Amino acid sequence: MTEKKKPQHMPGSELRNSRMHVVGMPVEKSENFSATARRLMGLMAGEKYLVAFIMTLAVLSVALVVSGPRVLGHATDILFNGLTGRDGNDGVNFAALHRTLWWAVAVYALSFLLAYGQTYLLAGVVQRTMYALRSNIEAKIHRLPLSYIDQHSRGDLLSRVTNDIDNISQSLQQSLSQLITSLLTIIGVLVMMLSVSPLLALIAIVTVPLSVLSMKQIANRSKKRFIAQWSHTGALNGLIEETFTGHAIVKTFGKQAEVEERFAVTNEKLFEAGFGAQFMSGSIQPAMMFVGNINYVLIALVGGLRVASGSMGLGDVQAFIQYSRQFTQPLTQTASMMNVLQSGVASAERVFEVLDTEEESIEPPSRLTGEVKGRIAFENVHFAYDPERPLIEDLSLVAEPGTTVAIVGPTGAGKTTLVNLVMRFYDLQSGRITLDGIDIASIPRRELRQNIGMVLQDTWLFGGTIRQNIAYGNPSATEEQIRAAAKAAYVDRFVHSLPKGYDTVLDNEGGAVSAGEKQLLTIARAFLADPSILILDEATSSVDTRTEVLIQKAMVALRSQRTSFVIAHRLSTIRDAHVILVMESGRIVEQGNHEDLIAAKGAYYRLYQSQFSGAATDLA
């Protein structure tokens, strides 16, 4: 957890509110709900032929289902007419009855098989679509500028990539098949009802506008709550990720109570949004059932009167009552699926927001040919994170191949920003930076960074063995090369004290090794990468004094024949640098070697005196 993320602000503070605008999607974006739903359906365009086949299966399955009541109505007529003698025969024609019943069994069995095939194929379509969506958003994140990652909570981004896509998958899987079947059933049943009795069909249709109006009113109220629900889910994930990543700092400063209160407030907002979304969308089904029951009563009443008058047969009325249930049931099912569908579309909107974010500039073709010498030149560079607050103004310097350039200065002077610009993590406002005379803006980022090794103050290890973490710098390295890099960085010394040696598995926080040992591992990784340019950002900050001396010796070997940028707070570590740059407020105020800068008694001299005289005073 970085200092700016410490949970020092109580819920309701300006900081927390501003962060909620970053990690949570504004509710107003629900205006794009229909467009998002269409775009979500458009993701399956690559499966259009299979979707067409699935639709064919659905049509056949529904056609068989809606013909079932008519077949059963015919069986009822055979039985009723036989018992009453209306067909002129003496008794029931059981042979005809058996054939009709077996035909009904065949109709429903075949309908089941077609529906089963439809569900199976649709599951494949949905999962392949989600597979492609996950791949797209993963690739997208790698193409996003670092500024986007810096401005968004990692927990919220994680929630979009995992929770939201999983919710989209479940929503489509549960609702898509049901919606297709329901729509086709409504059409099929309506055709059959018109063929049986246009009058009763008209009665059934009268209730449809009331059902649609009820659904629309409730859906409009619930969709905003679904967007808020997933927005607050992302915010909660961001808070949890932040808190657990920095749990040691939280405990150190005794902020557990404030963290718990922030969690409780965010959790309460998620509860309110989730409860409102589920309650509002869940009320659709009871409303549809109420309208359906009214429809059922009207049809039963009018149908009974028509049977009594002899204008309709009992079997037709029985079939129509079944059709009335089949007609209202898909409306009810559609209503019950609306909450699932709206939840999925709300998640899709959050995912599409990431996919629509402006990417880094298009990569130019390769311009590096031959061996990279490593001459870095800054020419009138201007840069600012915030356009209103310039950080680096009109900076010019040259780092010759094989030289070590040390950068010192107070916090916020622009030291780390300088090396971030070399890595093209950010683009300049004006000016240019060249590598061997070539503007780095015209070099593909991947190719540029392949020639740069970087060791940061904040170490990073991934879940895997020590061998794999070192080999991250050069995946094709041999075992001998890995061990040589480990020995050069003094990793080999402590690895042999571990039970499994180089096969020791680390978690993503490197729990099996100390902070200093983690830093040694990252230095070994840089050794193995063998870059032309080396950037060391306070790379020995977590090691003891004795190990630091050894690391300094290793660094001399590592920096040999390489252009090196060394950011240092402990000035004793950069005495041997060829050039020392002293930065203040984004400008170079002094430059030279250690002896010359001490003799000049300027900014560097004051930094040096404050550091070492302070240490001497403490010892005294």
Residue 600: CB partners within 8 Å, gap ≥ 6? Answer: 590, 592
Q: Is the pLDDT of residue 27 over 80?
A: no
| Residue range 170-202, pLDDT digits in tens | 888 877 777 787 788 778 777 777 777 787 777
The confidence score (pLDDT) of residue 620 equals: 37
DSSP assignments along 289-351, one per residue: HHHHHHHHHHHHHHHHHHHHHTSS-HHHHHHHHHHHHHHHHHHHHHHHHHHHHHHHHHHHHHH
- Same CATH topology for 3-16+31-355 and 458-530: the answer is no
Distance, CA of 591 to CA of 529 (rounded, Å): 30
In the chain, what percentage of residues exceed pLDDT 90? 1
**Least confident interval from 100-114, 151-165, 278-292, 579-593:** 278-292
Distance, CA of 567 to CA of 585 (rounded, Å): 16
The confidence score (pLDDT) of residue 413 equals: 77
- Tell me: domain 3-16+31-355, CATH 1.20.1560.10, correct? yes
Q: Which residue has the higher pLDDT, 13 or 106?
A: 106
| Integer CA distances (angstroms), 496 to 461, 466, 491, 504, in order | 19, 11, 9, 10
The confidence score (pLDDT) of residue 15 equals: 30
Nearest-10 crossing angle of helices 314-355, 33-42: 90
Task: Give burial (CB, 10 Å; 0-12/13-18/19+) of 619.
Answer: exposed
| Integer CA distances (angstroms), 433 to 416, 478, 528, in order | 16, 35, 26
pLDDT (average), residues 264-287? 78
| Residue range 351-370, pLDDT digits in tens | 888 888 888 777 777 777 77
| Integer CA distances (angstroms), 504 to 494, 510, 515, in order | 12, 10, 16
Identity (one letter) of the amino acid at 247?
A: H
Kindly state the greatest CA–CA separation across the chain.
128
Determine the CATH number of domain 458-530.
3.40.50.300
Q: If we measure between CA atoms, which residue out of 526, 332, 565, 541 comes closest to residue 435?
A: 565
The confidence score (pLDDT) of residue 616 equals: 41
pLDDT classification of 31: cutoffs 50, 70, 90: very low
Task: Give burial (CB, 10 Å; 0-12/13-18/19+) of 21.
Answer: exposed
Q: Reduced to 3 states, what is the DSSP secondary structure of residue 407?
A: strand
Q: Where are the domains of the chain?
A: 3-16+31-355, 367-451+533-539+562-620, 458-530
Distance, CA of 614 to CA of 570 (rounded, Å): 13
Q: Is 0.75 topped by the overall pTM? A: no
**Least confident interval from 94-108, 394-408, 538-552:** 538-552
In the chain, what percentage of residues exceed pLDDT 70? 82
| Residue range 215-256, pLDDT digits in tens | 667 666 666 777 777 778 878 877 777 777 677 777 777 777
User: Residues 588, 595: contact at Cβ < 8 Å?
Assistant: no
Determine the CATH number of domain 367-451+533-539+562-620.
3.40.50.300
User: Residues 543, 516: contact at Cβ < 8 Å?
Assistant: yes
Q: Is the pLDDT of residue 22 over 60?
A: no
The confidence score (pLDDT) of residue 96 equals: 79
Backbone angles phi, psi at 591, to 5 degrees: -155, 150
Distance, CA of 197 to CA of 307 (rounded, Å): 12
